[in-house]
Amino acid sequence: MSSKVVIVDYGLGNIFSINQACKHVGLDSTITSDPKHILNADALILPGVGAFGDAMNSLRENNLIEPILDFVKTGKPFLGICLGMQLLFTESEEFGEHKGLNLVPGKIVRFPEFNSNSKVVRVPQIQWNQIYKNDPLVWNSSPLIDIEEGTYMHFVHSYYAIPQSNDNILSYSEYEGVRYASAVAKDNIVGVQFHPEKSADQGLKIYRNWSNYIKNKVYRLC
Amino acid sequence: MELGRILNRKQPRTNQKSIVGNVRIIPRLDIKGPNLVKGIHLEGLRVLGKPEYFAKYYYENGADELIFQDVVASLYERNSLHEIISRTAREIYIPLTVGGGLRTLDDIKEVLRAGADKVSLNTAAIKNPQIIKDASRKFGSSTIVIAIEAIKQPDGEYFAFIDNGREETGIEVVKWAEQVEEFGAGEILITSVDREGTGEGFDIELIKKISSAVKIPVIAHGGAADPCNIKKAIIEGGADALAIASIFHYASMTKILSGSKSKEEGNMSFLQSGRKFGIIEHSDIKKVKTLLKENSIPCRPI
């Protein structure tokens, strides 16, 4: 039986391409904003582009916060993408302070205006950027398992994550001299700042590995 | 690991002060009805074939993103654009920007639902700048690309045009660029209508004016051909990405059409006549990226 993946629809983000990527790797994915479906899912994806505060408000208005937190407690696989990764954190400084889902301790901050050479930093970062291993053990027990260090992924963001614990950093990247967490992992939670569904074959590999994990509860090379 | 601290790394001293990140190479596909077309100065369109074939070909050959521009836009055949987007989005897993005739938030929502990742706005933004604020708030800044079509005036100033370079607005492009950034645009796509489709080279002066006026990424478009000029658009112009049409389309046409089942779809009689497209040298993404690499300009390798 195929696993049911629910993509949380709260009005933000290009969920179409996430859905396409899921189907491409054989996942039975559904886009929904119905809290009932969330708890019944085998795995959950929290997408998102846009502003942190608006996203949290939208989750709240759609009564999605409790179901998401309850789902994470079940230990079933959870994937946050882009803003969906940032929402996992304790708080963000985007347009004033905002509280997040607090599933991963840490905060979201903005890229600086200038780099160390006093040159203007272009924000948002819109580019293919490389991801690096923080801890090989964490990497190998994540959907990045067969991704080579230094692989290029597609990033679009103005803010970045600083996890409180080094243990939660799955990969890091650098932009304009700033090193930031480009993927995070904690128990059943994986969060990626980049868009794997927009990162060509290497990004699809991540979906494939995550799909295997949903079915087998273990990351292994296929 | 310490995150967030600005690493005080010694940057190599080069003249490449403008390069911020990995330069993106973005094939641009102008679409009319069901067809990929290409003109000169955005006019005189010639049918090249099915956009889906070209999109897939570019995806498989190292494109970093794709831009679809509906050049007839707004008035008719909007459904065929949606179909092209959703068919393409099922096969390509890189960002897809769609523009042309989008007037309202609902128009934007529809193309995003069809599978676009970003939209580009020109006419709608000029006629009603408020849409930039509303759209970037609703869909996220990074979803909203503002396309500026510039024509150089006799006095050296650049004015923004709408309706595919047909209608003058009297708006000076640098002021307009600063305004769209303030209103929340995530990116600017700057087209030199004077150079578009000519292969005479990017207008470096125009690109530089825009890229030095704003902090959001700038995609340069119009005129790509000569390798030395491509390099200049990045190093001197400060472009973060290059949108390229003619030199890619003409180079890939033969390969794509020979692989497709229905030969009548492309302009085969033109191809078979063996004529060249004016002065334009054919090129491909790999050649352009090799050129960048040889000049120490970072980009995602193929």
Q: What is the pLDDT of residue B234?
A: 96
**pLDDT tens, residue by residue, A189-198:** 999 999 999 9
Domain extents in chain A: 4-216
Of B8, B93, B140, the CB nearest to A200: B93
Catalytic residue among B52, B110, B149, B200: B149
A112 touches chain B (CB under 8 A): yes
Q: Flag if B11 and A117 touch (Cβ within 8 Å).
A: yes
Q: List the beta bridge partners of residue A7.
A: A31, A45
B104 to chain A, closest Cα gap in Å? 17
Enzyme catalytic residues of A = 82, 195, 197
Q: Flag if A20 and B90 touch (Cβ within 8 Å).
A: yes
Residue spans of alpha helices (H) in A41-182: 52-61, 65-73, 83-86, 136-140
Q: What is the pLDDT of residue A12?
A: 66
Sole residue written with tokens 């004015």? B159
Q: What is the pLDDT of residue B44?
A: 78
Please report the ipTM that was assigned to this predicted complex: 0.94
Q: Flag if B8 and A116 touch (Cβ within 8 Å).
A: yes
Q: What is the pLDDT of residue B253?
A: 80
B21 to chain A, closest Cα gap in Å? 7
Give the C-alpha separation, B200 to B195, whole Å. Answer: 6
Return the CA Rg of chain B: 19
**pLDDT tens, residue by residue, A53-70:** 889 999 999 999 999 999
**pLDDT tens, residue by residue, A175-184:** 999 999 999 9
Q: What is the pLDDT of residue B10?
A: 45
Q: Is B238 left (phi over 0), alpha (psi -120 to 50) or beta?
A: left
Q: Which of residues 36-95 of A touch B (CB under 8 A)?
A: 49-51, 54, 83
Q: What is the pLDDT of residue B15?
A: 39
For A109, name the nearest residue in chain B, comparing CA atoms only: B4
Question: How far is the CA of B172 from the CAs of A170, B125, B149, B167, B176, in angstroms?
Answer: 46, 14, 11, 14, 6
Burial B172-206 (b: 16+ CB within 10 A, else e): ebbebbebbbebbbbbbbbbbbbbbbbbbbbbbeb
Mean pLDDT over the full length of chain A: 93
* Residues of B whose CB is below 8 A from A169: 1, 3
By 3-state DSSP, what share of chain A in percent is helix, strand and coil, each rounded to 5?
Answer: 30, 30, 35
Q: Flag if A116 and B24 touch (Cβ within 8 Å).
A: no
Structure-token pair, residue B42? 């955005």
Give the C-alpha separation, A121 to A56, whole Å. Answer: 27
Q: What is the pLDDT of residue B6?
A: 62
Q: Flag if A54 and B137 touch (Cβ within 8 Å).
A: yes
Question: How far is the CA of B67 from the CAs of B26, B185, B219, B286, in angstroms?
Answer: 7, 17, 11, 18
Q: What is the pLDDT of residue B271?
A: 47
Cis peptide before A124 (omega within 30 of 0): yes
E runs forming strands in B21-136: 24-32, 35-40, 43-49, 66-70, 96-99, 118-121
Q: What is the pLDDT of residue B163?
A: 82
A34 to chain B, closest Cα gap in Å? 19
Taking chain A (222 residues) in runs of 10, the rounded mean pLDDT of each run is 87 82 95 93 92 91 96 97 96 86 97 90 95 96 96 96 97 96 97 97 97 89 64
Domains of chain B: residue spans and CATH: 24-287 (3.20.20.70)
Q: Which of residues 145-204 of A touch B (CB under 8 A)?
A: 152, 154, 156-158, 160-163, 166, 169, 172, 174-181, 195, 197-201, 203-204
- Which CATH class for the A4-216 domain? alpha beta
* Residues of A whose CB is below 8 A from B241: 126
Give the C-alpha separation, B151 to B144, whole Å. Answer: 23
* Residues of B whose CB is below 8 A from A177: 6-9
Sole residue written with tokens 């708080």? A91
Q: Flag if B140 and A20 touch (Cβ within 8 Å).
A: no
For A117, name the nearest residue in chain B, comparing CA atoms only: B11
**pLDDT tens, residue by residue, A119-144:** 889 999 999 999 999 999 999 999 99
Q: Flag if B4 and A178 touch (Cβ within 8 Å).
A: yes
Taking chain B (302 residues) in runs of 10, the rounded mean pLDDT of each run is 65 48 96 87 82 94 96 67 90 95 91 92 96 92 95 95 87 98 97 91 97 97 90 96 91 72 49 50 89 94 92
A195 to chain B, closest Cα gap in Å? 9
**pLDDT tens, residue by residue, B252-264:** 887 776 665 544 4
